[in-house]
Amino acid sequence: MLAISEFSVGYGRKLVIPPFALAPLPRGSVTALVGPNGAGKSTLLRGLAGLLKARGSARLDGVELVGLPLEFRAHHIAYMPQSLPHGVALTVIETLVGALRASPTDQPVPDAAAQGLQLLQRIGIADLALRRLDQLSGGQKQMVGLAQALVRRPRVLLLDEPTSALDLRFQLAVMELVRELTTECGLITVVVLHDLAQAARHADRLVVLAGGLLQADGTPEEVLTPDLLARVYGLSARVERCSRGQIQVLPDAALS
């Protein structure tokens, strides 16, 4: 269980997320973090992952994460940033082996390459294993970035827009995989998404952030209302269910 209270993060003196509390996130749950550009979603994830200095409290199964040295925190948490760097002369499998071997406190991994390859196969990109990272397409890179986070077998999975560059099939595949792994390994997963229908479909819970403040928190049905969309996104939109019962968000016009 991840319990967040009085949690605040920022850059230097600039506070992006003022003290913030969230009902506990249970194991085996997928939480979608949504909100407009610049809302502070990435900042919140960076704070939880320990990349930015945070204050307050974030307790994972009773262990306080705030103030825990990075190397111990990295033991529990995997974080997938929004971007991958350019011009890296490494093959996909090498990046996974590197991710496994570089972590300072992790147990020695007997066969990092085998572990990496199995994961690649599970994601469905085993054929990319020996390709150079800088010769992949944007979406392929994103899948590799996801693999780099997953391969470390964390307890908390923080994903920043993992599907933004993927085609429809892989968007579905990746989110289903995240769901599967979350259930299977009892992970606590937080995913930043922009596609609200996708968030509603794959997440148990939606947390809406705007201007660094919590706007709504609950099941997709509770949270996604035309009123909220107007308030948070400045959008006049309908929330409807398709013939299969899945929530669809249909934007009509930007409110001035």
The residues of the shown chain that bind ligand ATP, judged by CB under 6 A, are 11, 14, 16, 35, 37-43
For residue 199, the minimal CB distance to ligand ATP (Å) is 13
Backbone angles phi, psi at 13, to 5 degrees: -85, -15
Going from the C-alpha of 256 to that of each of 36, 39, 233, 235, 236, the distances in angstroms are 16, 19, 11, 9, 10
Look up residue 239 and give its amino acid: V
Q: Is 95 in the site for Mg ion (CB under 5 A)?
A: no
Q: Is 148 in the site for Mg ion (CB under 5 A)?
A: no
Backbone angles phi, psi at 29, to 5 degrees: -115, 145
Q: Quickly tell me which residue has 């093959």 as its tokens.
A: 91
As beta bridge partners, residue 241 has: 247
Q: Which helix (H) or strand (E) holds 62?
A: none
Residues 89-128 interacting with other proteins (rule: CB under 8 A): 89-91, 93-95, 98-99, 101-106, 113-114, 117-118, 120-121, 126-127
Q: Is 42 in the site for Mg ion (CB under 5 A)?
A: yes
For residue 215, the minimal CB distance to other proteins (Å) is 26
For residue 17, the minimal CB distance to ligand ATP (Å) is 8
For residues 247 and 224, the answer to whether their CB atoms sit within 8 Å is: yes
How far, rounded to the nearest angstrom, does the alpha carbon of residue 37 sit from its chain's CA centroid?
15
Residues that bind other proteins (CB under 8 A): 12, 46, 49-51, 70-75, 77-79, 81, 83-85, 87-91, 93-95, 98-99, 101-106, 113-114, 117-118, 120-121, 126-127, 129-130, 132, 145, 148-149, 152
